[in-house]
Amino acid sequence: MRDKDLYAQILNVREPWIVTEVILEQKEKTVVVQLELTDKAVGICPSCNKPCLGYDHRIQRWQHLDTCQYQTIIEANVLRVNCKEHGILTIKTPWAEGNSGYTTLFEAIIIDWLKEASIKAIAEQFKMSWNAVDGIMQRAVERGLAKRKLSEIKNIGIDETSYQKKHEYVTVVTDRDKRKVLHIEDDHTIESLDGFFEQLTDKQKSGIESVSMDMWPAYIHSVKKNVAGAEEKIGFDKFHVAQHLGKAVDKVRKSENRKLLDI
């Protein structure tokens, strides 16, 4: 079996794509698999899935699973189309997402590793940057969120989670009944939470019965703006209520102590 046929089967390459060349670069310890579109290829807009006229081609590369001790790179001359509605866009490839420099199979391996190890450990093991591993993780989260169905939502929980040493925050919204994540957004601002409510219909928002959250002013403001009768539906978590009560008691204790010292 020729090397082109071998890699066509390994990579599951199907028309309109064909393997045109396999290049072994011993010095760099890489195998470069070059792909081209056949004459049967039809340009399809990635946004509306309608046939379009071809515009030009651009060379793109993706890292794939290693071939023995050699890093495997897929290199393809990818068509760009000129859609009347969406403009000039790059067509979809069957082996990777448009905004990724890694194949779907490679990303799947990284996602499996993320279940067992830290981003730092995976980056070192696969000789990747921290940002590259994090990007794969974020794309997986986006795919998962896109597949979820925001149907009937009754009781939600809102929380802020910090990460890294710089205390950067993300807003996390969960369905407390189904115990699943509904929304993740950068930062913990009013706009961060507004992004969740903007996805809901008026019927879905009116169906919310309770909102469990901390006393972060931005979240309170967003809930009051988006949920009718929010004052009766918001429930603050016990930790923050106890924290505020503790501070109030401590303030009264200090005040009473000063008065006793003045007697």
The per-residue pLDDT for range 90-132, each reduced to its tens digit, is 999 999 987 889 999 999 999 999 988 889 999 999 989 999 9
The pLDDT value recorded for residue 241 is 58
Question: Higher pLDDT residue, 193 or 214?
Answer: 193
Cβ neighbours of residue 176 under 8 Å, at least 6 residues apart?
Answer: 155, 156, 157, 210, 212
| Percentage of the chain lying above the pLDDT 70 cut | 90
Q: What is d(CA 64, CA 96) in angstroms, rounded to the nearest whole number?
A: 10
Q: Which residues are paired to 22 by β-bridges?
A: 33
Q: What is d(CA 106, CA 108) in angstroms, rounded to the nearest whole number?
A: 5
The pLDDT value recorded for residue 263 is 62
Q: What is d(CA 133, CA 223) in angstroms, rounded to the nearest whole number?
A: 34
- pLDDT for 1 beyond 60: no
* Cβ-based neighbour number of residue 180 at 10 Å: 10
Tell me the pLDDT tens digit for each residue of 16-59.
999 999 999 988 899 999 999 998 888 999 989 999 999 999 99
CA-based end-to-end distance of the chain: 100
Q: What is the mean pLDDT of the chain?
A: 87
Question: Higher pLDDT residue, 199 or 243?
Answer: 199
- pLDDT for 252 beyond 80: no
What is the value of pTM for the model shown? 0.60
The pLDDT value recorded for residue 244 is 62
The pLDDT value recorded for residue 236 is 84
Question: Higher pLDDT residue, 244 or 20?
Answer: 20
Lowest average pLDDT, out of 26-30, 141-145, 246-250, goes to 246-250
- pLDDT for 148 beyond 70: no
Q: Residues 225, 189: contact at Cβ < 8 Å?
A: no
* Cβ-based neighbour number of residue 210 at 10 Å: 15
Q: What is the mean pLDDT of residues 125-147?
A: 85
Closest by CA to 170, choosing from 119, 205, 128, 134, is 134
